[in-house]
Structure 1
Amino acid sequence: MEPYNFCSSLETLTQHVNTITDLIISPHHCFALLLVAFLATLYFACRRKSPIYLVDFTCYCAPSSYRLPLAMFEENQLYDNMDPEAVAFQCKIMAKSGFSEQTSISPSLAQIPKVKALTFALEEAETIMCSVIKDLFEKHNINPKAIDILITNSSVFCPTPSLSAMVVNKFRMRSNIMSFNLSGMGCSAGIISMSLAKDLLRVHRNSLALIVSTETLSLNWYTGKVPSMLLSNCLFRMGGAAILMSSRVQDKHKAKYTLQHIVRTITAQDGQSHGCVYQQGDPENKEGVSISKNIVNVSGDALKKNIASLGPLVLPLREQFLYLFSIVCRKLWSARRISIYTPNFNHAFEHFCIHSGGRAIIQAVERNLRLRKQDVEPSTMTLYRFGNVSSSSIWYELSYIEAKGRMKRGDRVWQIAFGSGFKCNSAVWKCVCDVKPDTATAWRDTIHSYPVDIMRTN
Structure 2
Amino acid sequence: MAPKNLKILSNQCYHHITTNALFLIISSLLFAAIHHLSIINHLYNDSCYLTAAAAILVLCISLSFFLRPRKVYLVDFACYRHDPAFSTHRDTFMEKMSGLVSPENLSFMTKVMERSATGEETFIYGLRDFPPKSSFECAMGEAEIVLCGAVDDLMAKTGVEAAQIGVVVVNISTFNPVPSLSAMIVNRYKLREDVLTYNLGGMGCSAGLIAVDLAKRLLQVQRNSYALIVSLESPTSSYYLGDDKSKLLPYCLFRMGGAAVLLSNRRSDRRISKYELSHTLRTHRGADDRSYKCVFQELDKEGGLGMTISKDLPSVAGEALKANITSLGPLVLPTSEKLMFLATLIGRKWLNMKGLAPYVPDFKAAFEHFCIHAGGKAVLDAVETSLKLRAWDMEPSRMTLYRYCNTSSSSVWYQLAYAEAKGRVRRGDRVWQLGFGSGFKCASGVWRALRTIPPHEVDNPWLQVIDQFPISLPN
Q: TM-score, normalised by structure 2?
A: 0.88
Q: Secondary structure at the match of 1:225?
A: coil
Q: CA RMSD in A?
A: 2.0
Output aligned runs, 1:338-357, within 5 Å. Answer: 338-357=356-375
SS of the residue 1:55 aligns to: strand
Amino-acid identity (%): 43
Shift of 1:45: 4.1
Q: Structure 2 CA distance, aligned partners of 1:30 and 1:221?
A: 74
Tell me, what secondary structure is at the counterpart of 1:374?
helix
Contact 1:116–1:218 under 8 Å retained in 2:
no
Call closer, same or farther: CA 1:366–1:36 in 2, change over 3 Å.
same
1:63 aligns with: 83
Distance 1:207 1:25, change over 3 A: farther
Cα offset for 1:444? 1.7
Q: Partner of 2:265 in structure 1?
A: 247
Q: State the SS of the aligned residue for 2:213.
A: helix
What is the CA–CA distance in structure 2 between the aligned matches of 1:267 and 1:259, rounded to whole Å?
Answer: 25
2:73 is matched with 53
Partner letter of residue 240 of structure 2? Y
1: CA distance, partners of 2:138 / 2:50: 70
State the match for 1:76 in structure 2. 96
Deviation per residue, 1:348-384 (Å, 9 max, x gap): 1101000000011011000011000000000000000
How many residue pairs get aligned? The number is 435
| Structure of larger gyration radius | 1
> Does 2:113 correspond to 1:94?
yes
Does 2:338 correspond to 1:320?
Answer: yes
| Greater Cα offset, 348-357 or 41-50 | 41-50
Match of 1:440 among 435, 459, 463: 459
TM-score w.r.t. length of structure 1: 0.91
Rounded to whole Å, the distance in 1 between the matches of 2:112 and 2:133 is: 24
Alignment match of 1:106 (pick from 115, 125, 140)? 125
Contact preservation (8 Å) 2:81, 2:149: no
Counterpart residue identity of residue 188, structure 1: S
Contact 1:103 1:387 in 2 (8 A): yes
For the residue of structure 2 that corresponds to 1:155, the secondary structure is coil
Q: Specify the alignment match of 1:153 in structure 2.
A: 171
| Residue 175 (str. 1) matches residue 193 (str. 2) | yes
Partners in 1 of 2:44 and 2:180 — Cα distance?
60
Q: Distance in 1 between matches of 2:134 and 2:110?
A: 21
Q: Match for residue 388 of structure 2?
A: 370
1:311 paired residue number = 329
For structure 2, the residue ranges without an aligned partner over 5 or more in a row are 1-36
> Which residue in 1 is equivalent to 2:23?
none
Matched, 1:127 2:111: no
State the secondary structure of the residue aligned to 1:203.
coil
CA contact (8 A) 1:279 1:288 kept: yes
Seen in structure 2, the aligned counterparts of structure 1 residues 25 and 417 have a Cα distance that, compared at 3 Å, is farther
Alpha-carbon distance in structure 2 between the residues aligned to 1:232 and 1:337: 42
Q: What is the match of residue 14 of structure 1?
A: none
Judge which range, 39-48 or 367-376, deviates more.
Answer: 39-48
Report the Cα distance in structure 2 between the residues aligned to 1:120 and 1:36, rounded to whole angstroms: 64
* Runs of 5+ unmatched residues, structure 1: 1-17
Counterpart among 215, 224, 230 of residue 206 in structure 1: 224
**Counterpart in 1 of 2:276?**
258
Larger mean Cα displacement after TM superposition, 362-371 or 65-74: 65-74
**Aligned ranges 1:135-146 → 2 under 5 Å:** 135-146=153-164
State the Cα distance separating 1:37 from its structure 2 match: 5.2
1:287 paired to 2:305: yes
Please state if 1:390 is matched with 2:408.
yes
